[in-house]
Amino acid sequence: MKKSKEKSPWLKYYEEEGIPVNMDYPDCSMVDMVLQSAEKWPDNTAYVYYGHKVTYKNFVKKIEKAARALKNYGVKEGDRVTICMPNTPEGITMVYAVNMVGAICNMVHPLSSEKELEYYIKVADSKYVLVIDAVFDKIYRLRDTAQLERIIVVRPSDGLGFLKKKLYNTLHVKKVRLPSNDNRVVLWEDFIANSYFYQGNYHEERGGEDPAVIMYSGGTTGAPKAVLLSNLNINAESLCDATMIRQVTPGATVLSILPLFHCFGLGVCIHTPLCKGMGCILIPAFSHKQFAEIIKKNAPNFIVGVPTLFEALVNTKLKKEDLKSVTAVICGGDALNQTLHNKVNDFLMAHGSSAKIRVGYGLTEGSGAVCLSPENTFADGIIGVPFPDTDFKIIQNDTFKELLVGKEGEICISGPLVMMGYLNNDAETAQTIRVHDDGKVWLHTGDIGYLGEDGLIYFAQRLKRIIISSGYNIYPTHLESIINSHEAVLTSTVIGIDHHYKGQVPKAFIVLKPGYKAGKKLEREIRELLERNVPIYALPVAYEFRDKLPQTKIGKVAFRELEKEEKSRK
């Protein structure tokens, strides 16, 4: 995939920062990369969980035990294992154990609604689930409809040392009651203990092209779609991250706040450090009120997050030298404006760090990050330099025609980070991944951007309707379809409204059918309908009933007019 400088103007930044144009990617599994890391740095800390540290050699032992346990419970090569977990040791251990036995990780958000969980489990044809105890009831109610064979339950204290675990269980929330007469349900500690009963082969040889992970995206239409990623996809993400960020060094630590069920979290905050002998500081539930304490206790070298995390950072009370450990700061998930960019850099400098915040761009269909701004370079809209072996093209909408510098069009990418496709959805895959006239396979992102005169890529707007709230993608059309299914609703439109901390939050505008009256009771019914079908973070914060909605000349709802109305109210 070699390019000329005329074809790829960003190559000048490669030369300045010592980034290779092309790289070699090993034909191996995700877990093989971690095993290689453990061979090189066995005594380095692989992860820290509430102060409890685990070295690479001990992490590998945990992975191997979990792999044997999976085999003992009948998991075979190619099976799909659902991981419904926050960032805990059991969650990341299971990712690599599933990969080790040749199965596929089905990564789902613990805050998903019961309906969504049912869809995720069924579309992946997953018979095994690892779940945090707080969400167990939702999963257990699906045991028959989803034909689950095994539900492995994790308590938040399971990953702690003995004394800390005892203290946690004494002081913290009541335990979730588990059924005593259902052998499909097993606690993590019993699951691991039963690994002893399997003494056969548990490390299946898998290559780069083999599927490894399923994650979920709204694609271009907003309905949830299962994105199938290969070992190569995730490994290439790791190797490219490490190449683009020169501060990646063995022994450095990453504040792993972004969740492992998010591509940015798994790829950048978990797999990249674990492939390079770094340590993951696992944060299962982030609270901005605890941010100062987290930083003081852990002294992280890398802070990786979405804009809302950095809003929290600049409002955190820290002493002058509290950030002196920080060497790299990466922002992704949503656009970073100039004001916040300046605030973060000023805050870093004022508290002992010489790091400057850098902006990344990516998507689940691209295995996470695919582009990163150069160090010390920023402007509104900048998303930076493509990763090695990843080509960018700006095309005219609904065509394959490549546009000139400065012209806005759809961003397309090609290279080893492009997903395998949408699971069980050939039609949507064919719309999203296309072969262009140059013979290459291109991923159509649904995002609008342009190539700047400076040779950098810039983001302009979304081609698809999307609301980004605290880094999570919310798709208005999906919410509208659910609202419209209520018997009283004629039509609805959901827009994003500004929020001081989350960036944006959804608001629903609803027109009722003749004979129905707006009121608190009806609003509650619609809210409860949404609660059964979407995660908590996607719920509208407000519902406004109207006699009619503004329309475009061709009869579609003019949601831009509603957005302007909301802005004018401020």
Coil, strand or helix at 428: helix
Contact between residue 115 and residue 533 where contact means Cβ atoms under 8 Å apart: yes
Q: 416 and 236 in contact (C-beta within 8 Å)?
A: yes
Rounded Cα–Cα distance for residues 196 and 193 (Å):
6
What 3-state DSSP class applies to 167?
helix
Q: Which of 462, 496, 518 is the last residue in one of the domains?
A: 462
* C-alpha 490: how far from chain center: 34
275 and 159 inside one domain: no
Residues 472 and 450 in one domain: no
Do 483 and 433 share a structural domain?
no
> Is residue 435 one of the residues assigned to a domain?
yes
* CATH number of the domain that residue 539 is part of: 3.30.300.30
How far is it, in rounded angstroms, from Cα 67 to Cα 175? Answer: 27
Same structural domain, 395 and 262: yes
Domain at 238, CATH number: 3.40.50.12780
Divide the 570 residues of the chain into consecutive groups of 10 and give the mean pLDDT of each group. 56 90 96 98 97 96 98 97 97 98 96 92 97 94 95 83 47 63 93 94 96 84 84 98 94 96 94 98 89 94 91 91 96 84 95 95 94 90 93 88 90 97 94 92 92 91 75 82 89 87 88 89 93 89 89 67 80
Residue 47 within a domain: no
Say how far residue 260 (Cα) sits from the centre of its chain: 7
Backbone angles phi, psi at 471, to 5 degrees: 90, -10
- The last residue of a domain, from among 427, 462, 497: 462
- For residue 455, what are its two tokens? 């040779």
The reply to whether 443 and 478 lie within a common domain is: no
Do 354 and 405 fall within a single domain? yes
Are both 235 and 380 inside the same structural domain? yes
* Shared domain check, 126 and 195: yes
What span, in angstroms and rounded, lies between the C-alpha atoms of 526 and 37? 50
Q: Confirm if 463 and 21 have CB atoms less than 8 A apart.
A: no
- The number of beta carbons lying within 10 Å of the beta carbon of residue 193 is 13
Q: Does residue 304 sit in the same domain as residue 449?
A: yes
- Per-residue model confidence (pLDDT) at position 222: 60
**Is residue 415 domain-shared with residue 279, that is, in the same domain?**
yes
Task: Supply angle C-alpha 190, 192, 196, rounded to 5.
Answer: 105
| CA count, 13 A, side-chain hemisphere, 480 | 19
Say if 495 falls within a structural domain: yes
Structural domain range at position 317: 11-24+226-462
CB 420 within 8 A of CB 443: no
Q: Which residue has the tokens 């971690």?
A: 34
Domain for residue 34, yes or no?
no
Calculate the alpha carbon distances from 373 to 257, 305, 527 in Å: 21, 15, 40
H or E, element range at 170 = helix 162-171
Boundary-marking domain end, from 411, 437, 462: 462
Residue 41 falls inside a structural domain:
no
The DSSP output letter for 404 is P
DSSP annotation of 52: E
In a domain, 62, yes or no: yes
Domain-located, residue 128: yes
DSSP 8-class letter at 268: I
Taking the C-alpha atoms of residue 302 and residue 356, their distance in angstroms, rounded to an integer, is 11
Q: Rounded to an integer, what distance in angstroms lies between the CA atom of residue 56 and that of residue 503?
A: 38
CATH number at residue 161: 3.40.50.980
Note the pTM of the prediction, 2 decimals. Answer: 0.85
Tell me if 395 sits within 8 A of 446, measured CB to CB.
no
Spell out where 158-239 has E strands: 185-187, 211-217, 225-230
In 18-135, where does DSSP find H-type helix?
30-40, 56-72, 89-100, 114-123
Ramachandran region, residue 39 (left: φ > 0; alpha: ψ -120 to 50; beta: rest): alpha
Contact in structure between 119 and 224 (CB atoms under 8 Å): yes
395 occurs within a structural domain = yes
pLDDT value of position 232: 98
Kindly report the backbone phi and psi dihedral angles of residue 352, in degrees, each rounded to the nearest multiple of 5, phi listed first.
100, 0
Reported as a single tens digit per residue, the pLDDT across 297-321 is 999 999 999 888 898 899 899 999 9
Kind of pairing, strands 368-372 and 441-451? Answer: unpaired
Number of domains in the chain: 3
Q: Please give the Cα distance from 325 to 387 (Å, whole number).
A: 26
Instruction: State whether residue 472 is helix, strand or coil.
Output: strand
Of 403, 337, 330, 339, which is closest to residue 362 (Cα–Cα)?
330
505 - beta bridge partners? 497
Question: Which residue is listed with tokens 């290559």?
Answer: 207
Neighbours of 407 (CB within 10 A): 12
pLDDT at 567: 80
In sequence order, the 6+-apart residues with CB closer than 8 A to the CB of 430 are: none
| Pair 443, 533 in one domain | no
- DSSP, residue by residue, 507-566: EEEEEEPTT---SHHHHHHHHHHHHTTS-GGGS-SEEEEES---B-TTS-B-HHHHHHHH
The dihedrals phi and psi of 66, each to the nearest 5 degrees, come to -65, -35
- Residue 364 is predicted with a pLDDT of 94
* pLDDT recorded at residue 285: 86
Q: What is the CA radius of gyration of the chain?
A: 24
pLDDT of residue 5: 37
Q: Across 364-486, where does the E strand assignment appear?
A: 368-372, 382-386, 391-395, 409-414, 421-422, 433-435, 441-451, 457-462, 467-469, 472-474
Cβ–Cβ contacts within 10 Å for residue 65, how many?
20
102 plus 156 within the same structural domain: yes
Query: Which helix (DSSP H) or strand (DSSP E) does residue 84 occupy?
Result: strand 80-84
